[in-house]
Amino acid sequence: MRHHPAASAGSAIFRPATMIRRFVACLALVACSSSAPYNYKVEPDPRALEFVIGPLDQLAVRVWKNPDLSAEVNVRPDGIITLPLIGNVRAAGRTPTELQKDIAKRLSDFVRDEEVVVSVGLVTVNSYTFTVIGSVEHAGYHSAKAYVTVVEAIAMAGGPNRFAGSWAYIVRGKPARRIPIDLSRATSSEHAEENLVVMRGDLILVP
Q: What is the pLDDT of residue 116?
A: 87
Q: What is the pLDDT of residue 90?
A: 98
**52, part of any domain:** no
Buried (b) or exposed (e) across 72-108, using 16+ Cβ within 10 A? ebbbeeebebebeeeeebebbebbbeebbebbbebbe
Count how many domains the chain has: 2
Q: What is the pLDDT of residue 115?
A: 74
The CATH number of residue 191's host domain is 3.10.560.10
The string of pLDDT tens digits covering residues 45-77 is 999 999 999 999 999 999 998 999 999 999 999
Q: How far is 83 from 113, CA to CA, in rounded Å?
A: 18
The reply to whether 193 and 176 lie within a common domain is: yes
Q: How far is 128 from 107, CA to CA, in rounded Å?
A: 30
Phi first, then psi: give them for residue 185, nearest 5 degrees: -80, -40
The string of pLDDT tens digits covering residues 166-191 is 999 999 998 999 999 999 999 999 99
The reply to whether 94 and 135 lie within a common domain is: no
Among 74, 102, 124, identify where a domain stops. Answer: 124
The CATH number of residue 108's host domain is 3.30.1950.10
Note down the domain range covering 106.
58-124
**173, part of any domain:** yes
Q: Work out whether strand 167-172 and strand 87-90 pair parallel, antiparallel, or are unpaired.
A: unpaired
Q: What is the pLDDT of residue 13?
A: 45
Q: Which residues does the chain have with pLDDT short of 70? A: 1-35, 113
Contacts of 25 (CB under 8 A, 6+ apart): none
